[in-house]
Amino acid sequence: MRGLGEEATFVGGMRVLIAEYAVGSCERPELRREGEVMLAALKRSFERLGHEVIFPKAEKDFGRAIERLSKECDAGLVIAPDDILGEFTEILEENTLNLGCPAETVRTCADKLKTTEILLKNGIPAPRILAEEARGECCVLKPRFGCGSEGVLLLRSSDSCDFVKCEGGEEYISTEFVRGEDVSVSVVASARSSLFLTVNKQFVEREYVRGGVARLKYSGSIVPYEVSEAQERELRRLSAAISRLFKCRGYFGVDFVLCEEDGKAYAVDVNPRATTSIACVASVLNFEVAALILLAANNELPAEEELQVSGRCSVRF
């Protein structure tokens, strides 16, 4: 596995903050296992390059912990639910080098309505936003400001909307339901270019909670995942376009559905941060994932042909 070349700026001896919310705060214990997996993968990778990694653990004030620790570090990454990631990223940026997506990008991607509108406006296939009166027999409802599949509901008819209103006062958006295969892609981006890493199979379970309402839950992934050559080319093209469009930096992921009718890839979510799949991605690449993140920060990403993927890894929750 390759680390950094001799010409790179970030060679050994740095202090790197990895602020993972589920591990670093006293909240959201249901996300702790996923958080531990991401944190462990990144920590090992940075340490293999000779860097010291520090991270908050069970802090009552996660933001204050980032502020304190980031002042002691040369660089850092924040991993948190998208709706609160922006504010924590901003704190990090005020005190050290942010190795991930900038706060502005994070805030845009956290707004699922705005993200979808941007994708569609720029010719990137995405599920159409539906007005309440236009919902058909099957549609997807998700929090406008949410994280991954959390809080996402599949409704078999518009009559089921009353159930959603009873669940809380969150603002939801409704999109068409694209029937197909759930996949994601992992990408590393610099200010100049992006590097496509892997296609990942996503396991998304349906928990039927009432009549025609199913709650969707992410439960793991397989990395890498084989799709057709045409689909992979399209996923590469779309991920590069999305990277430029949203000004992504460092490691990020995009969720897609490969439509079962025509094989077309629909972008359903842009994740401006490390995703759970990173644990598997780190184990199948010939580069240290930390090295790629640092090279991206230095605008020195390797050429696509230098990247090799071997083996297969899966994670389940």
State the virtual CA torsion across 44, 18, 35, 114 in degrees, nearest 10.
-130
pLDDT of the residue at 6:
41
**Binning pLDDT at 50, 70 and 90, where does residue 4 land?**
low
What angle, rounded to 10 degrees, do the helices at 112-121 and 229-246 form?
Answer: 110
The whole-number average pLDDT for the span 120-138 is 82
pLDDT at 222 over 80: yes
Amino acid 26: pLDDT: 86
CATH for the stretch 15-99: 3.40.50.11770
CA distances in angstroms from 100 to 75, 141, 189, 297, listed in the order given: 10, 28, 9, 8
Average pLDDT of the chain, as a whole number:
91
Q: What is the mean pLDDT of residues 101-114?
A: 97
pLDDT of amino acid 306: 97
Condensed to tens digits (0 to 9), the pLDDT of residues 268-285 reads 999 999 999 999 999 999
CA 212 to chain centre: 29
The set of residues, in sequence order, having a beta carbon less than 8 Å from that of 200 and lying 6+ positions away, is 183, 184, 185, 186, 221, 222, 223, 224, 225, 253, 277, 280, 281
Question: 251: which 2 tokens?
Answer: 């490691």
Q: Tell me the pairing of strands 265-271 and 313-316.
A: unpaired
- Which of the residue ranges 18-32, 125-139, 156-170 has the most confident prediction, judged by mean pLDDT? 18-32
Place of tokens 């897609």: 256
Q: What is the pLDDT of residue 163?
A: 45
pLDDT band at 305 (very low <50, low <70, confident <90, very high): very high
Percent of the chain with pLDDT over 90: 78
CB 254 within 8 A of CB 115: no
Domain ranges of the chain: 15-99
Residue 53: both structure tokens together: 């990694």
Rounded Cα distance, 311 and 221, in Å: 14
Q: How far is CA 180 from CA 147, 200, 233, in A?
A: 21, 15, 18
Please classify residue 303 by burial: count the beta carbons closer than 10 Å to its beta carbon, then call 0-12 exposed, 13-18 middle and 19+ buried.
exposed
The sign of the torsion formed by the CA atoms of 227, 233, 239, 242 equals negative
SS3 301: coil
Residue 132: band (very low, low, confident or very high) from pLDDT cuts 50, 70, 90:
low
Q: What is the pLDDT of residues 156-213, one digit of tens each?
A: 765 555 444 434 456 888 999 999 999 999 999 999 999 999 999 999 999 988 777 8
pLDDT at 148: 62
